Amino acid sequence: DGGITQSPKYLFRKEGQNVTLSCEQNLNHDAMYWYRQDPGQGLRLIYYSQIVNDFQKGDIAEGYSVSREKKESFPLTVTSAQKNPTAFYLCASREGGHYGYTFGSGTRLTVV
Amino acid sequence: QKEVEQNSGPLSVPEGAIASLNCTYSDRGSQSFFWYRQYSGKSPELIMFIYSNGDKEDGRFTAQLNKASQYVSLLIRDSQPSDSATYLCAVRSGGSNYKLTFGKGTLLTVNP
């Protein structure tokens, strides 16, 4: 079945560590996105990529980095510069035209 | 800053009633409008999208768009307890970069 796979489902990070969240899709979608969701805050855009080897900053890119070396993969690294990383991270991809996103099941990151 | 506003709720309706969810947006050049349903602890799933003024119906769901008033709504007929969730309004703004801005969501509770 086609879909978006995010891993791990739960992730714990110590202060000062970098962590990488995986996002893989087999939908053959060109565009991929990373959002962060905090309680009461809605979804906020971190980074997005419309084609391979290209990506743009979203509204809250500071402390995050991404790569897009393959169409299927769009990993997100949460660096130690991100001061408040505890959140629910959602990866999405999009078919062309007016269609909306398809979301992965999310990664819940907690700083310990 | 492009904004999408929703009443956070909670909105409580009895089973079998019509639930009405509302959303306003600030960018007059917005092109496409989406409603997502998100169960607690889960990722959002697309319910409806609309991009022309008027109504669009899909089963028990009707999306309504009024671009002049910058207003989009979702009606859920014959509400069921399984409809209890947070409903997110998302808007695609104008321009070549396709990205969605999300509202903070409205929590709907359907009481048996």
Residues B7-48 have pLDDT tens digits of: 888 999 999 999 999 999 999 989 899 999 999 999 999 999
Beta carbons within 10 angstroms of residue B7's beta carbon: 15
pLDDT value, residue A46: 97
Residue B86 pLDDT greater than 90, yes or no: yes
CB nearest A48 (choices: B43, B44, B99): B99
Average pLDDT, chain A: 93
- For chain B, first and last CA: distance in Å? 40
Tell me how far apart the alpha carbons of residues A89 and A86 are, in angstroms, rounded to a whole number.
9
Computed on alpha carbons and rounded to an integer, the radius of gyration of chain B in Å comes to 14
Name chain A contacts of B8, Cβ cutoff 8 Å: 40
Interface test with B, best of A88, A103, A108 (most B CBs within 10 A): A103
Tokens read off for B68: 């002049």
Rounded to an integer, what distance in angstroms lies between the CA atom of residue A105 and that of residue A36?
13
CA distances from B58 to A21, B16, B47, B50, B82 (A): 35, 17, 9, 11, 17
Q: Does pLDDT of A1 surpass 70?
A: no
Task: Please name the helix (run of DSSP H) or strand (run of DSSP E) that holds residue A99, with its range, or none.
Answer: none
- A38 alpha carbon, distance to own chain's centre: 14
Could you give the percent of chain A with pLDDT greater than 70?
A: 98
**Per-residue model confidence (pLDDT) at position B4:** 94
Given the structure tokens 């996103």, which residue do they identify?
A: A101
Find all residues with CB under 8 Å of B30, minimum gap 6, and list them. B2, B67, B70, B91, B92, B93, B94
Amino acid symbol at B104: K
Q: At a CB cut-off of 8 Å and minimum separation 6, what does B36 contact?
A: A100, B44, B45, B46, B47, B87, B88, B90, B102
Which tens digit of pLDDT belongs to each residue from B55-82?
Answer: 999 999 999 999 999 999 999 999 999 9
Mutate to test the interface with B, among A101, A105, A107 (most CBs of B within 10 A): A101
Instruction: Measure B46 CA to nearest chain A CA, in Å.
Output: 7
For A25-80, what is each residue's pLDDT tens digit? Answer: 999 999 999 999 998 788 999 999 999 999 999 999 999 999 999 999 999 999 99
Radius of gyration of chain A (CA): 13
